[in-house]
Amino acid sequence: MRCEEVQDLVEALAEGDVGPRAEVGAHLRTCVHCSASLSRARQIDRRLRALPVPVPPPTFTAAVVRRTRSIRWESEQRFDWWFNTAMAIALTIIGVGVWGVMHVTGLTAVTVGTADFLGRSLPALYERVKPELGLYLTASALVIGALGVWWWLERAGEPRQTA
C-alpha cells in the first residue's frame, strides 16, 4: 500500500470512523512517516475531545432562522427590483417601437381620429340607451347571478382536497 493512500485514511483512523484494515496496519508498522502522522492525528483528536463544548444561547435557532429569512427576503427584493426595472425598460422600448411604427406608417393619425370619434359618439350612444338602462342592468344582473350559481354548484361538486 502506498503512503498517499494511507495518508488519506489517517484522520478517519484517528477519529475511529474507519477500522484498521490488515494492509493499512501492515503499512503503519513499517512506515515511520505514516505512523507518526497517525499518532499526531490521534493526539489532535484527543485534545479536541477534551475541549468544553460551548452551549448555544436559547435564542440561537430563532436568530439563525430570522437572519436566513431576512437574507432571502432581501435577495427576493433585489430580484424583484431588477425584474421590474427590466420589464419597465422592455415595455418602454416596445411602446416607443410601436409608436414609431405607427408614426412612420401614418397610423397615429387614424388612431387619434378613432379616439376622437369614440369620444363624440359614446355620449350619443348613452343618450339612446338611457331609457332602457334599467332593463339592461337587470338582465345583466340575472346573467351574472346565474353564472355565479353555476360556478358555486361546480365548485361544491368537486372532491375536497386534503392538505
Residues lying near Zn ion in the complex (CB under 5 A) are found at 3, 31, 33-34
Q: In angstroms, what is the minimal distance from the CB of 34 to Zn ion? A: 3
CA distance 78 to 92: 21
Q: In angstroms, what is the minimal distance from the CB of 33 to Zn ion? A: 5
- Nearer to Zn ion by Cβ, of 3 and 94: the residue is 3
Q: In angstroms, what is the minimal distance from the CB of 31 to Zn ion? A: 3
- Alpha-carbon distance values, 61 to 24, 97, 163 (Å): 42, 53, 27
Between helices 60-105 and 107-129, what is the axis angle to 10°?
100
- Nearer to Zn ion by Cβ, of 31 and 107: the residue is 31
**CA-based angle 36:37:38, to the nearest 5?**
90
- Nearer to Zn ion by Cβ, of 33 and 78: the residue is 33
